[in-house]
Amino acid sequence: MSETRSPRHFLDLSDAGADAIAAMINDAQDRKAARRDLPKGAADADARLAGRVLAMIFEKSSTRTRVSFDMAMRQLGGSAIVMEAGSMQLGRGESIADTARVLSRMVDAIMIRTDDHAKIEELAANASVPVINGLTDRSHPCQIVADLLTVIEHGKALPGLEVAWLGDGNNVLHSILEAAGLMKFNVRVGCPSGYEPEAEFVRMAEAGGARVDVTRDAVAAAKDADVIVTDTWVSMGQEHASAKLDAMQPFRVDAALMAQAKPDALFLHCLPAHVGDEVTQDVIEGPQSVVFDEAENRIHAQKSILRWAFGQL
Ligand code: CP
Ligand code: NVA
């Protein structure tokens, strides 16, 4: 008999909504604090996903997403199977729909990192277990749950927060914009012409009540910000086009740009970083940088995303 209840997919932050994201962040903080003295691979006392298995499919490279989901499942008492798409029948042309239906009979949830967002939509449409977006060319919602957790842990409230994004208008920025509309913070995007975020995400943020400014002036973007965020100028699957790298030069986050932000501003980067390109060594290694808290928080955020997908939050 086939599963009749609709699974809770997490393809983008709006699938969960503001209340669930707030619940995820609270849960992540509580669970992080409760297991402070446990070895990293030990299960949480309540092992809320005991017996559950997550299948992970990677069509692109990953360090943090791969390890944090695996560790999240271990800490919740479950386990994970990691598959490179190239070593699956998917890589030889088996359909996404069949892959979804087969995996749904075998595992309890699926996480996928892929290129075209339409692929994850097709996977979700054919899966009877939750599907989680581990990054597509369009968005990276799991990263942003970890980022919001990091910002809150460092004492900042989300409503009214001034977030400055410098550089490429990419998948990570799209999820920040989606989060801005849901959690009511403002985003100033400093980017070169032609590298803006998709208008749909700006509209989404504004429709939620966020203020979004897109400017060609890096200093104006960074001025009095609470949080400065950047990411690689060349995302996975993109060309290292010299015209793009030239256009990005004024948007490098260096000490002078950081100094435009509030004195207690945080520096975030989802990593991997390309030091010397989008950020200078002194900034990423400096006192305002919280990039390794942000990386660790991927585990704590994934756990709460998984718990939400399984209907526990
Ligand atoms: N930030 C992030 O998603 O890192 P990985 O590409 O290593 O998973
Ligand atoms: N924008 C980057 C994020 C990597 C985690 C990329 O898509 O490659």
Domains of the chain in sequence order: 13-140+298-309 (3.40.50.1370), 155-289 (3.40.50.1370)
In whole angstroms, give the CA distance from residue 171 to residue 164. Answer: 15
Region 264-278: mean pLDDT is: 98
Which residue is closest in CA terms to ligand 1's atom 4? Answer: 64
Tell me, in angstroms, the distance from the centre of ligand 2 to residue 206's CA.
Answer: 24
| 117 noted as active-site residue | no
pLDDT tens track for 184-198? 999 999 999 999 999
| 143 noted as active-site residue | yes
| 224 noted as active-site residue | no
Question: Which region holds residue 209: left if phi is over 0, alpha if psi is between -120 and 50, else beta?
Answer: left
pLDDT tens track for 223-261? 999 999 999 999 999 998 999 999 999 999 999 999 999
| 174 noted as active-site residue | no
| Statement: residue 3 has pLDDT above 50 | no
Ligand lying nearest the CA atom of residue 62 = 1
Which residue is closest in CA terms to ligand 1's atom 2? Answer: 64
Q: How far does Cα 267 stand from its chain's mean position?
A: 16
pLDDT tens track for 143-182? 999 999 999 999 999 999 999 999 999 999 999 999 999 9
Ligand 1 nearest-atom number relative to CA 66: 8
186 lines ligand 1 (CB under 6 A): no
